[in-house]
């Protein structure tokens, strides 16, 4: 139990309720601890907190276009490392056809997010058909391969030396956001049994970020059955039903899908925009002081961003004050939109991340300037 120094206090012009009925002519900025879970204060500025005229130094935000990545191999271990730290690795993999070997990650759980494409996944637990919008959780040590029925673009997020779990949903109950009953598991079906046999198979194992190849004179995906409560699971973003409030803009933490040891994965899905006249209609400005924030844009028009396309990634380092782009903020003030249509995956990491050369090679270096114009 953390016993924070708590002293709710009010000074000058302020709102009685966070994110609602801001004093006229002011812009709210949230400054808090532990992301959106700890103590916080709301400051009401006369100027937009992101209204800089210039921004120099390493704290700048970044945007990357994964659509420009190319030269991928046929193995998940050929994926492009984009952003990582000791606890999380964010990779992008593009592939087609059938994998001719199996892989196994001994370093941590893997989360696959299928951005485009579809096909068949074969693993220790059986056979699973996948499609765009699927999250697939692969527990540490799972052997697997895919047969892509169309070109696939897959985001791979490794929970290094950790495990994926479902978030604690508190007073909204265990069936909120998505009912665990919608989780699909692989089946020991005819397709799984058909791929078994005595042909030689290789398993490429990643352990300590090094690779070993184990060769078998048979296909080791030869299970006749299994039982237990540890398995590959799949949920599609269409099955995610976001928490909503028509009177209050909920923080990103309300959209948490999975939690790992030192980071969380959230999903932004279509929802009605707040209808209360006094409520903010866009994300509030906030000082991101405890977590690095990574967002992958899957589908739709991301309503708080400008000039962000499907397949792009943004990275906001801790210490960077941010919020909606100017055009989005003005649209929110006018209540120009009644609902969002975006799907995006957000990762908040408790530890600083590093960017790779592959990430820098597809960076939009002008991204920091996207907050400057207020016309």
Find, among 282, 275, 279, the residue nearest to 338 by Cα. Answer: 275
375 marked ligand binding residue: no
290 marked ligand binding residue: no
pLDDT in tens, 152-191: 999 999 999 999 999 999 999 999 999 999 999 999 999 9
Residue 84 lies in a domain: yes
pLDDT in tens, 346-358: 999 999 999 999 9
Cα–Cα distance for residue pair 72/79, rounded to 1 Å: 7
Q: What's the whole-model pTM score?
A: 0.93
Residue 304: band (very low, low, confident or very high) from pLDDT cuts 50, 70, 90: low
Query: Between 308 and 37, where is the model more confident?
Result: 308
Query: Between 102 and 39, where is the model more confident?
Result: 102
Residue 372: band (very low, low, confident or very high) from pLDDT cuts 50, 70, 90: confident
Number of residues that this document lists for the chain: 375
The distance between the two most distant Cα atoms of the chain, rounded to a whole number of Å, is 77
Burial class (CB in 10 A: 0-12, 13-18, 19+), 71: exposed
- The residue out of 237, 256, 288 marking a domain boundary is 237
CATH number, domain at 249? 2.60.120.10
Task: Give the residue numbers marked as catalytic.
Answer: 249
Total domain count, the chain: 2
Residue 21 lies in a domain: no
pLDDT at 374 over 60: no
Residue 283 lies in a domain: yes
Domain co-membership, 196 together with 85: yes
Residue 19 lies in a domain: no
Domain co-membership, 150 together with 225: yes
DSSP assignment of 91-148: EEEEEEEE-SSEEEESSEEEEEEEEEEEEEEEETTEEEEEETTEEEEE-TT-EEEEEE
Neighbours of 334 (CB within 10 A): 9
Domain co-membership, 89 together with 228: yes
Q: Which residue segment(s) compose the domain that 253 sits in?
A: 27-63+240-371
Residue 357 lies in a domain: yes
Domain co-membership, 244 together with 351: yes
Domain co-membership, 94 together with 225: yes
- The residue out of 200, 219, 237 marking a domain boundary is 237
Residue 72 lies in a domain: no
Query: What is the percent of the chain with per-residue pLDDT over 70, rounded to a whole number?
Result: 97
pLDDT in tens, 16-27: 888 888 899 999
């Amino acid at each position: 139990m953390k016993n924070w120094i708590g002293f709710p206090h009010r000074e000058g012009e302020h709102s009685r309720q966070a994110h609602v009925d801001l004093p006229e002519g002011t812009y709210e900025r949230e400054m808090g601890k532990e992301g959106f879970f700890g103590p916080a204060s709301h400051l009401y500025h006369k100027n937009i907190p992101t209204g800089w005229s210039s921004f120099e130094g390493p704290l700048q935000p970044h945007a990357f276009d994964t659509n420009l990545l190319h030269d991928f191999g046929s193995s998940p271990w050929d994926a492009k490392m984009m952003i990582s730290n000791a606890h999380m690795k964010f990779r992008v993999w593009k592939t087609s056809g059938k994998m001719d070997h199996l892989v196994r990650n001994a370093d941590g759980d893997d989360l696959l997010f299928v951005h485009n494409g579809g096909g068949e996944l074969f693993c220790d637990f059986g056979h699973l058909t996948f499609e765009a919008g699927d999250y697939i959780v692969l527990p540490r040590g799972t052997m697997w391969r895919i047969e892509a029925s169309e070109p696939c673009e897959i985001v791979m997020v490794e929970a290094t030396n950790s495990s994926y779990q479902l978030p604690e949903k508190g007073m909204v109950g265990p069936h909120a956001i998505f009912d665990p009953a919608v989780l699909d598991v692989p089946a020991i079906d005819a397709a799984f049994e058909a791929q078994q046999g005595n042909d030689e198979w290789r398993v490429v194992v990643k352990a300590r970020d090094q690779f070993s190849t184990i060769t078998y004179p048979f296909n080791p995906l030869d299970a006749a059955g299994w039982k237990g409560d540890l398995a590959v699971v799949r949920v599609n973003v269409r099955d995610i039903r976001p928490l909503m409030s028509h009177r209050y803009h909920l923080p990103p933490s309300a959209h948490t899908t999975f939690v790992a040891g030192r980071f969380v994965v959230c999903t932004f899905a279509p929802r009605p925009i707040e209808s209360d006249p006094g409520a903010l209609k866009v994300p509030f400005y906030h000082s991101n002081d405890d977590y690095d924030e990574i967002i992958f844009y899957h589908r739709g028009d991301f309503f708080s961003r400008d000039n962000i396309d499907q397949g792009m990634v943004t990275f906001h380092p801790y210490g960077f004050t941010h919020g909606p782009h100017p055009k989005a903020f003005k649209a929110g003030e006018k209540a120009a939109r009644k609902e969002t249509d975006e799907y995006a995956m957000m990762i908040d990491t408790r530890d600083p991340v590093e960017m790779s050369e592959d990430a820098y090679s597809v960076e939009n270096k002008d991204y920091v300037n996207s907050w400057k114009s207020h016309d």
